[in-house]
Amino acid sequence: MLTMIDQRYQNQALETFQKAIDLAPTDPKLKYNLSLLYNQMGQTGLAEQVLKDSIDLKVNYEAARFNLASLYEQTNRPDLAKEQYQYIFDYLNPDNQKVGEKLEQLQN
């Protein structure tokens, strides 16, 4: 939260995430949250890679897949976004209304 208010905290947050990941390298939530920070900083390439790492650690991580799809939309890659939304719909949560809406939008 502080990184959104004052960018001076971004480096501290990055260091903290890196230390936490070093201590718990198999925790997908740490990588997921690190990806959110990277995206907030405009480092979409790093955000994408860390989200993929998070999904590699936990294949059924719905929030990470959703954010990866959103990142693909943000970077004008609708086909990749659709793949992630479709995976969520088919394998994780067919009742997710937001995913259903996103899939409909990408069909048009």
Structural domains for the chain? 10-107 (1.25.40.10)
CA 23 from chain centre, in angstroms, equals 21
User: Looking at residue 72, what is its pLDDT?
Assistant: 98
pLDDT in tens, the chain (108 residues): 445 556 778 888 899 999 999 999 999 999 999 999 999 999 999 999 999 999 999 999 999 999 999 999 999 999 999 999 999 999 999 999 999 999 999 997
pTM for the model: 0.90
Cα–Cα nearest to 104, from 91, 86, 80: 86
User: Looking at residue 6, what is its pLDDT?
Assistant: 67
